[in-house]
């Protein structure tokens, strides 16, 4: 019984919710809410590929909540549910195609595009720490509201999934959203959780990672000040720092990432209409 308790507790927490904590958008970089049978409440494991998947009730129906990687191929995919008696069942769903915008930037000095050996070495030292924070998975579910809170109001300055090319060289797609705001503006936690990492990184600057449970992790970058420490429990909308321009940033803004099952997904899917309006965005 103890093996299935975390899954059941997670599902029961959201029974009767008037609104899902995330919207269904089954595209690369999106989230799929895959209907499961009632017997899946007895599941001991739910996998999408080799990644564990959380499950919850939405409008009375149990669904797998699948974070879809940006590089996922459109077409038919499946989650595999393993029951407490060892039986496994596949539930199929469709990933729809989506083309993200591209930005091509030409810089006169190529040295601003290519990292020095020193900077590259620093990046490689910091990367395992960042990836470990995203891979955090704990059994305590902290999200008690039907959506995440917007960390800071401001101008929506860069979308999720944006593909950037500097002097013709591709960079990794944008793994979050950017919100421009004045330096020193308070930044709040999107939901209750535990701070699993803080750091000052080459690209991201001063950064906070918060674990909200069952593979849901949020990241807050380029902060001017950090007001929390590793291991600290934070409440929903508690101030965790202030907007800044640390790291590789051209101006003060917050880069906010939402990771679901160690997959970076579209943060706008987790916000309600009111918070979307605070950054000038209509429903995604």
Range of the domain at 54: 5-95
Examine residue 256 and state whether it is found in any structural domain, yes or no.
yes
Measured CA distances, 228 to 44, 225, 239 (Å): 35, 9, 8
What six digits make up the tokens of 274?
């009111």
Q: Find the mean pLDDT for residues 137-142.
A: 87
Rounded distance, CA 7 to CA 3, Å? Answer: 9
Examine residue 230 and state whether it is found in any structural domain, yes or no.
yes
- Contact 241/256 with Cβ under 8 angstroms? no
- Overall domain count for the chain: 2
Classify 283 as helix, strand or coil.
Answer: coil
Residue 56 maps to which CATH number?
2.60.40.1590
How does DSSP assign 190-242, residue by residue? SSSEEEEEEEEETTTEEEEEEEEETTEEEEEEEEEEE---TT-EE-TT-EEEE
Rounded distance, CA 157 to CA 8, Å? Answer: 39
Residue 141 maps to which CATH number?
2.70.70.10
Kindly state the DSSP code that residue 105 receives in the 8-state scheme. E
Q: Are residues 108 and 223 in the same domain?
A: yes
What's the pLDDT tens digit per position in 157-167? 999 999 988 77
Q: Are residues 85 and 106 in the same domain?
A: no
Q: Are residues 112 and 79 in the same domain?
A: no
What's the pLDDT tens digit per position in 16-54? 343 468 999 999 999 999 999 988 888 889 999 999 998
pLDDT at position 42: 86
């Amino acid at each position: 019984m103890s093996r299935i308790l975390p899954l059941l507790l997670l599902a029961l927490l959201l029974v009767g919710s008037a609104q899902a904590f995330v919207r269904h958008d089954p595209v690369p970089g999106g989230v799929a809410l895959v209907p499961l049978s009632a017997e899946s409440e007895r599941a001991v494991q739910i996998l999408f590929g080799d990644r564990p998947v959380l499950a919850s009730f939405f409008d009375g129906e149990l669904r797998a909540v699948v974070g879809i990687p940006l590089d996922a191929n459109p077409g038919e995919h499946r989650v595999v549910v393993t029951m407490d008696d060892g039986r496994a069942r596949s539930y199929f769903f469709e990933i729809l195609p989506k083309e993200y915008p591209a930005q091509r930037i030409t810089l006169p000095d190529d040295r601003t595009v290519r990292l020095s050996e020193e900077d590259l070495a620093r990046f490689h030292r910091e990367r395992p720490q960042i990836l470990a924070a995203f891979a955090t998975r704990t059994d305590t579910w902290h999200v008690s509201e039907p959506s995440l809170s917007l960390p800071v109001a401001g101008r929506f300055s860069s979308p999720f999934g944006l593909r950037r090319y500097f002097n013709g060289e591709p960079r990794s797609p944008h793994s979050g959203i950017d919100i421009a705001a004045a330096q020193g503006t308070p930044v709040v936690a999107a939901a209750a959780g535990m701070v699993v990492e803080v750091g000052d990184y080459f690209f991201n600057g001063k950064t906070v990672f918060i674990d909200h449970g069952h593979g849901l992790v949020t990241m807050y970058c380029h902060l001017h000040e950090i007001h929390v420490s590793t291991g600290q429990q934070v409440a929903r909308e508690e101030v965790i720092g202030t907007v800044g321009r640390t790291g590789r940033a051209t101006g003060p803004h917050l880069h906010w990432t939402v990771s679901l099952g160690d997959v970076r997904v579209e943060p706008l899917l987790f916000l309600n209409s009111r918070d979307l309006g605070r950054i000038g965005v209509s429903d995604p």
